[in-house]
């Protein structure tokens, strides 16, 4: 008797497991939106799209629990310290996870794709949001920005740095530039691309800070090994991921007049093998060979910063908020010897073009706690938090104009020679230089891999490498468009 029952139970378990498994495949509806139970449950009083009660009330979503996925960043660290205050103010409990940047997007992509509504919120940059919003994972925050009852009285939307807010607005049409359309996220911090250099290196060698590409190459020759056998002239990123292309490389790429994609008859066609693109890539490769690190291909942003701080790199061309942290008093060996300048240009007087990156908070379209999630966004992109994060948490560059103009900020940046000037010289011509499209990860990762191959001499010429890259990029975006 016992045996029979056990066998039956066994069989039931197996069948149940199989059925569940097949159901998980979701006959035809891959992006399932109905999940039974997942991480974030909502307590009492969590409405979805409410807000029409007229008056704004911080405690409207009291008792809710929301979940946010964060990337390791000074802004996240600042957010974590203020979570308790947030909960006191709103009664909303926040569960968070912090992931190192190198694995962050893989984790978020998978979580969003499951459609379960978890996490309610996540940090992201603009590029990734093109990807996510094309797949329908991102909530349009205009819904809340346009609803007066959902905005706290001191939020002051106009105070945001315009380029930061605009960078996160997109219509969803591949090929159409950012600046209009859905608000995919609200910025926490942003960065522009400038040059940081070691004043000692230049003084000791009687050199001037390079203002043009030719001057830069000349400086590369002179400053290679300026501080010992392991030192070199210019540090730029080189790892096999999207992070290598978007800072200095893309800024200069656009300055040469090259584009990543062009629209031809409604279809996106890669333009990475155009004469301007190849010319720029040859210049970049030349710069690395003459003045770069011998292990350039493994460099990520903090490797560049560290090298500047230890006196191994004379110049870093990267985000402006990267080398800053080497320059606080006592932070590194070369602290105090670091200054900032805008990126070089083709010839003096040319516009200072730079790419743009912003870390923002975005909302999951499948979230079950959208109201509460919006309150989180409002609190942590508000003026008070922005000031705290910038002044006490070293989170740069602040996304609110009032912070830039504030006394505390000016005092904070007093020791960063040339930082604000370089920023102001650059910001006007700063925009997202990539063509918005949902396959960003693939196209830029392949770009980085191709760059590595070109530098290593795997191709007979930069032209050949970029031709190959064009083929890969075209294949990646082939199912877009054709309107």
Partner 1 sequence: MNQQKQKGMITILEPVGRNLGLTLFAMFALFPLIWMVICAFKSDAQMYNTVFRFTPTLENFQAVLVGSDYFRAFFQNLLVAGGAVIVTVIAGVPCAYALARYNFKKKEDVAFQILSFKFAPEIMVILPIFLIFQKIGIYDTYFGLIWVYQLITMPLLIWVVRGYFEDISVEVEQAAQLDGYTWYEVFFKTLIPLIKPGLVASALLAFIFAWNSFTFPLILSSSKVQTITITALRYIASDTVHYGQVAVASTIAVLPEVIVALFIQKHLVRGLSFGAVKG
Partner 2 sequence: MIGKKKIKENEAVNYNEIPAHIRRRPYYIIAPGLIILIGIMIPFVTAIFLSFTNYSFRLPKWSFVGLRNWINMFTSKAFYHALSVTLRYGIFATAAEMLIGTGVALLLKKDTKYSRILKVLFTFPLMVAPAVAVLIWQLMTSNTVGVLEKFLNIFGIYNFPWAASHSTAMFTAIVIDAWVNTPFVILLVLAGIQSLPKSPFEAAAVDGASSWFTFKTLTFPMLKPFMYIALLFRLMAALQEFGIIYALTKGGPGDTLMNISLTGYINGFTYQKLASALPYLLVLWLLINKTAKFLVTRQRYLANQAAGK
Site residues for partner 2, 162-191, by CB under 8 A, read none
Exactly one of 15, 29, 39, 405 binds partner 1 (CB under 8 A); that residue is 39
Q: For the range 325-330, what are the long-range contacts, defined as Cβ-Cβ under 8 Å and sequence gap of 24 or more?
A: 325/394, 327/415, 327/416, 328/394, 328/415, 329/415
419-438: which residues touch partner 2 (CB under 8 A)? 438
Q: How many residues bind partner 2 (CB under 8 A)?
A: 61
Residues 9-28 that bind partner 2 (CB under 8 A): 10, 13-14, 17-18, 20-21, 24-25, 28
Contacting range for partner 1; rule: CB under 8 A; set: 124-132, 254-262, 287-295, 302-310: 302-310
Q: By CB under 8 A, name the one of 42, 69, 364, 430 that touches partner 1.
A: 69
Q: Least distance from C-beta 21 to partner 2, angstroms? A: 4
Of 173, 441, 463, 467, the one binding partner 2 by CB under 8 A: 441
Beta carbon of residue 95, minimum distance to partner 1 (angstroms, whole number): 4
CB of 223 to partner 2, least distance (A): 14
Residue 77 contact, options partner 1, partner 2, none, Cβ 5-8 Å cut-off depending on partner type: partner 1
Site for partner 1 in 384-413 (CB under 8 A): 394
- Using rule CB under 8 A, residue 229 touches partner 2: yes
Of 452, 466, 470, 473, the residue at the interface with partner 2 (CB under 8 A) is 452
Chain residues 330-369 in contact with partner 2, contact rule CB under 8 A: none
Selection from partner 2, partner 1, none that 158 binds (CB < 5 to 8 A by kind) is none
In whole angstroms, what is the distance from residue 441 CA to residue 429 CA?
A: 25
Q: How far is the CB of 297 from partner 2 (least distance, A)?
A: 4
Half-sphere exposure of 151 (CA within 13 A, CB side): 14
User: 236 near 229, Cβ under 8 Å?
Assistant: no
Q: Which does 449 bind (CB under 5 to 8 A by kind): partner 1, partner 2, none?
A: partner 2
Q: Does residue 136 bind partner 2 (CB under 8 A)?
A: yes
Using CB under 8 A, count the residues that bind partner 1: 50
Candidates 298, 347, 414, 471; binder of partner 2 (CB under 8 A) is 298
Residues forming beta bridges with residue 70, ordered by sequence position: 98
Whether 377 and 70 have beta carbons less than 8 Å apart is answered as: no
Q: Which stretch binds partner 2 (CB under 8 A): 163-171, 249-257, 361-369, 445-453?
A: 445-453
Residue 439 binding result from partner 1, partner 2, none, given CB thresholds of 5 to 8 Å by partner type = partner 2
> Within 10 A of 286 (CB to CB), how many other CB atoms are there?
16
d(CA 192, CA 72): 19
According to CB under 8 A, which one of 449, 464, 467, 481 is a site residue for partner 2?
449
Contact present, 250 and 434 (Cβ < 8 Å): yes
Task: Please choose which of partner 1, partner 2, none residue 445 contacts, taking the beta carbon within 5 to 8 angstroms, the exact cut-off set by kind.
Answer: partner 2
Q: Cβ(123)–Cβ(399) under 8 Å?
A: no
Residue 401 binding partner per list partner 2, partner 1, none, with a CB distance cut-off of 5 to 8 Å that depends on partner kind? none
Which member of 8, 12, 29, 84 binds partner 2 (CB under 8 A)?
Answer: 29
Q: Which of 124, 332, 437, 444 binds partner 1 (CB under 8 A)?
A: 332
* 380's tokens: 């942590």
Among 453, 464, 467, 474, binds partner 2 (CB under 8 A): 453
Q: Is residue 368 involved in binding partner 1 (CB under 8 A)?
A: no
Q: What's the token pair of residue 411?
A: 């005092």
| 209 forms part of the interface with partner 1 (CB under 8 A) | no
293 binds partner 2 (CB under 8 A): yes
Q: Which residues of this chain interact with partner 2, rule CB under 8 A?
A: 1-3, 6-7, 10, 13-14, 17-18, 20-21, 24-25, 28-31, 102, 105-106, 109-110, 112-113, 131, 134-136, 229-231, 238-241, 293-298, 303, 306-307, 310, 312-313, 438-439, 441-442, 445, 448-450, 452-453, 456, 458, 476
């Amino acid at each position: 008797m016992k045996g029979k029952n056990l066998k039956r139970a066994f069989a039931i378990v197996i069948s149940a497991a199989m059925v569940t498994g097949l159901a998980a495949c979701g006959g035809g509806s891959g992006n399932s939106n109905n999940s039974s139970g997942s991480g974030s449950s909502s307590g009492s009083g969590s409405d979805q799209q409410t807000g029409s009660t007229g008056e704004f009330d911080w405690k409207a979503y009291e008792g809710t629990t929301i979940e946010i996925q964060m990337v390791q960043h000074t802004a996240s660290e600042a957010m974590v310290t203020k979570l308790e205050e947030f909960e006191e103010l709103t009664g909303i409990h926040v569960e968070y996870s912090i992931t190192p940047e190198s694995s962050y997007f893989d984790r978020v992509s998978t979580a969003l794709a499951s459609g379960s509504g978890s996490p309610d919120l996540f940090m992201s940059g603009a590029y990734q949001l093109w990807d996510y919003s094309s797949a329908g994972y991102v909530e349009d925050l205009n819904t809340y920005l346009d609803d007066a009852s959902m905005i706290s009285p001191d939020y002051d939307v106009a105070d945001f740095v315009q380029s930061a807010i605009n960078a996160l607005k997109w219509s969803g049409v591949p090929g159409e530039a950012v600046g209009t359309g859905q608000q995919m996220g609200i910025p926490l911090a942003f960065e522009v691309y400038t040059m940081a250099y070691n004043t000692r290196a230049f003084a000791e060698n009687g050199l001037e800070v390079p203002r043009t590409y030719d001057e830069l190459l000349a400086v590369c020759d002179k400053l290679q090994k300026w501080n010992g056998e392991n030192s070199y002239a210019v540090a730029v990123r080189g790892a096999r991921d999207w992070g290598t292309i978007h800072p200095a490389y893309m800024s200069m790429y656009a300055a040469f007049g090259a584009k990543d994609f062009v629209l031809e008859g409604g279809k996106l066609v890669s333009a990475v093998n155009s004469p301007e693109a190849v010319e720029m890539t040859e210049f970049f490769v030349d710069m690395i060979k003459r003045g770069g690190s011998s292990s350039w291909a493994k460099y990520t942003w903090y490797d560049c910063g560290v090298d500047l701080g230890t006196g191994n790199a004379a110049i870093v061309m990267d985000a402006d908020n990267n080398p800053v942290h080497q320059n606080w008093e006592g932070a590194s060996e070369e602290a105090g010897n670091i200054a900032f300048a805008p990126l070089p240009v083709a010839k003096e007087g040319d516009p200072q073009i730079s790419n743009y990156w912003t870390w923002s908070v975005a909302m999951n379209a499948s979230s079950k706690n959208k109201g509460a999630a919006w309150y989180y966004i409002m609190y942590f992109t508000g003026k008070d938090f922005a000031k705290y994060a910038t002044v006490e948490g070293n989170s740069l560059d602040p996304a609110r104009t009032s912070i830039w103009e504030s006394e505390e900020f000016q005092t904070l940046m007093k020791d960063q020679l040339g930082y604000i000037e370089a920023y102001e010289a650059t910001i006007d011509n700063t925009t997202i230089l990539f063509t918005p499209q949902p396959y960003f990860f693939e196209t830029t990762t392949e770009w980085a891999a191709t760059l590595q191959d070109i530098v290593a001499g795997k191709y007979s010429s930069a032209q050949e490498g970029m031709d190959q890259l064009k083929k890969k990029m075209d294949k990646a975006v082939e199912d877009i468009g054709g309107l």
